[in-house]
């Protein structure tokens, strides 16, 4: 299929594809086994200016948009979703500054982020606040010229490895969801430490840690936007990043599909390569068709976002749900096509299937995304009346 990418977009795709094939594929199994953060790969991505893809040129980035970011994430995910998570979480953590930061904050942080000198993480989730983000307990109290932050964030991607953290805390609990605010907190700030490193089913090349704030003092200028805007910052951030999670689903599906085709051509049973059996061909045909449908959706939603559209909740939720459910289905079917071999660690589809599962869970579970789509449909129907 021709998606009418520009020459520049094709160059980005080919560059990331080359990095994925030369630098990621050879080490992905080892990174998974050792549960190791892919610092060497992050350095290569930084040298290729890929951390600055979506950051405006005036802050040292390449000034591209959601489509270019999704293309890069898709290519990395084809090789390893753990690596693509470490890369994409950086964008997730940067969006609060990009979308709502002051000029001073943008000038201070974005050039280093664009250069890949400092990684970023985003902290919303807590032990008792997952889908119900309004239940967060972390507090930020203004004392003189500083906010004093206390609480624990759970399951934060890039936790401990990142230098810059954008987090959400309650500045006025009495106001409920309108009492949350977003902050920038740098690694090394007294009172900010890291808790447990999680041991995960998949994406083991990505690090997931607790962030612990114990009377951590930050200048009041570290607030992003104004007091009370925390959930707007968080929701708009997630709206902007979710299409990228869809791109992860698309990439891992493409990777697993290619492995399944390769295997089905070589594996002989009953005197024939298994790809000659219609049952296998139909599975591959469904996989190929759905992958193209997911790519068409993700690229279209990305272009819609890049056009400057303001209300993107429904579209980004659709892209995330469709492509990540696809990622799970295609990786599972790739294992099925490869039979016992697919279940063994000798082949990459075993890891791909483990990696794909998280995509239906993080950045808002797929049930929650369906709730979002449902709510938007209700609003649209009410407007038509
Ligand atoms: C590996 C990993 C990395 C992560 N990285 C980050 C990160 O960088 N930053 C961050 O802030 N968070 C991060 N998270 C947290 C992640 O976003 C949450 O796990 C996710 O939002 C779901 O929350 P939960 O796990 O508490 O599930 P819960 O909210 O407890 O949900 C449990 C189940 O109930 C369902 N459910 C809940 N409410 C409803 C409802 N109203 N309608 C229908 N179904 C519902 C859910 O869909 C799910 O199936 C990460 C999580 C993991 C596992």
Q: What is the pLDDT of residues 79-117, one digit of tens each?
A: 999 999 999 999 999 999 999 999 999 999 999 999 999
The answer to whether the CB of 240 falls within 8 A of the CB of 88 is no
How remote is the C-alpha of 276 from its chain's centroid? 37
Average pLDDT over every residue of 210-223 = 98
Q: Which pLDDT band, with edges at 50, 70 and 90, does 149 fall under?
A: very high
The answer to whether the CB of 77 falls within 8 A of the CB of 251 is yes
Using a 6 Å CB cutoff, which residues line ligand 1?
Answer: 89, 121-125, 130-131, 155-157, 200, 208, 358, 361-365, 367-368, 371
Cβ atoms within 10 Å of 264's Cβ, excluding its own: 20
Q: What is the DSSP letter of 74?
A: H
How remote is the C-alpha of 93 from its chain's centroid? 10
Cα of 125 vs centre of ligand 1, distance in Å, is: 8
The answer to whether the CB of 26 falls within 8 A of the CB of 19 is no
How remote is the C-alpha of 353 from its chain's centroid? 17
Cβ atoms within 10 Å of 30's Cβ, excluding its own: 10
Q: What does the pLDDT look like over 18-27, one tens digit per residue?
A: 999 999 999 9
Residues 6+ apart with CB under 8 A from 378: none
Q: What does the pLDDT look like over 167-194, one tens digit per residue?
A: 999 999 999 889 999 999 999 999 999 9
Cβ atoms within 10 Å of 107's Cβ, excluding its own: 13
**Helix (H, G, I), strand (E, B), or coil: what is residue 194?**
strand
Average pLDDT over every residue of 21-44 = 98
CA distances from 243 to 12, 22, 183, 302 (A): 18, 26, 24, 7
Element spanning 253, H or E = helix 230-266
**Helix (H, G, I), strand (E, B), or coil: what is residue 153?**
strand
Residues 6+ apart with CB under 8 A from 53: 12, 61, 62, 64, 68, 69, 72
Cα of 270 vs centre of ligand 1, distance in Å, is: 46
Pocket test of ligand 1: the residue of 35, 155, 169, 206 to mutate, having most ligand atoms within 8 Å of its CB, is 155
| pLDDT at residue 207, as a whole number | 98
Average pLDDT over every residue of 28-39 = 97
Average pLDDT over every residue of 355-359 = 98
Q: How far apart are CA 172 and CA 145, in angstroms?
A: 17
Cβ atoms within 10 Å of 246's Cβ, excluding its own: 33
The answer to whether the CB of 114 falls within 8 A of the CB of 61 is yes
The answer to whether the CB of 130 falls within 8 A of the CB of 122 is no
Active site residue 210: no
Longest dimension (CA), the chain: 80
| pLDDT at residue 242, as a whole number | 98
**295 pLDDT above the threshold of 90:** yes
Q: Which pLDDT band, with edges at 50, 70 and 90, does 292 fall under?
A: very high
**385 pLDDT above the threshold of 90:** no
Average pLDDT over every residue of 309-334 = 97
**294 pLDDT above the threshold of 90:** yes
Cα of 145 vs centre of ligand 1, distance in Å, is: 34
| pLDDT at residue 199, as a whole number | 97
Q: Which of 57, 363, 376, 380 is catalytic?
A: 363
Cα of 107 vs centre of ligand 1, distance in Å, is: 33
Atom number in ligand 1 closest to CA 371: 42
């Amino acid at each position: 299929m021709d998606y009418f990418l520009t020459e520049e977009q094709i160059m980005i795709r080919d560059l990331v594809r080359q990095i994925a094939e030369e630098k990621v594929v050879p080490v992905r199994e080892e990174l998974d086994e050792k549960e190791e953060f892919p610092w060497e790969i992050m350095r290569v991505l930084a040298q290729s200016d890929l951390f600055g893809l979506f950051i405006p040129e005036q802050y040292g980035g390449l000034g591209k948009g959601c489509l270019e970011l999704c293309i890069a994430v898709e290519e990395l995910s084809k090789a390893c979703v753990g690596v693509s998570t470490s890369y994409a979480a950086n964008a997730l953590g940067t969006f609060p500054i990009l979308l709502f930061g002051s000029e001073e904050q943008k000038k201070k942080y974005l050039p280093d982020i664009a250069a890949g000198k400092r990684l970023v993480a985003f902290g919303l989730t807590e032990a008792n606040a997952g889908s119900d983000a309004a239940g967060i307990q972390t507090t930020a109290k203004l004392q003189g010229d500083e906010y004093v932050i206390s609480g624990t964030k759970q399951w934060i991607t890039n936790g401990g490895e990142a230098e810059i953290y954008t987090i959400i805390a309650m500045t006025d609990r009495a106001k409920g969801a309108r009492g949350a605010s977003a902050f920038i907190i740098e690694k090394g700030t007294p009172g900010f430490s890291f808790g447990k490193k999680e041991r995960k089913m998949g994406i083991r090349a990505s690090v997931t840690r607790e962030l612990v704030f114990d009377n951590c003092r930050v200048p009041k200028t570290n607030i992003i936007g104004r007091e009370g805007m925390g959930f707007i910052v968080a929701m708009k951030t997630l709206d902007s990043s979710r299409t990228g999670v869809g791109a992860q689903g698309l990439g891992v599906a493409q990777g697993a599909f290619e492995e399944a085709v390769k295997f089905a051509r070589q594996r002989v049973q009953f005197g024939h390569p298994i790809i000659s059996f219609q049952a296998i061909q139909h599975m591959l045909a469904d996989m190929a068709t759905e992958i193209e449908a997911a790519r068409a959706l993700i690229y279209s939603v990305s272009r819609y976002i890049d056009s400057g559209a303001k209300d993107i909740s429904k579209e980004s939720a659709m892209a995330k749900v469709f492509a990540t459910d696809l990622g799970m289905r295609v990786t599972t079917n790739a294992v099925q096509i490869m039979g016992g071999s697919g279940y063994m660690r000798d082949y990459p589809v075993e890891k791909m299937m483990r990696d794909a599962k998280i995509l239906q869970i993080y950045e808002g579970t797929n049930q929650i995304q369906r709730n979002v789509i449902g709510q938007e449909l209700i609003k649209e129907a009410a407007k038509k009346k």
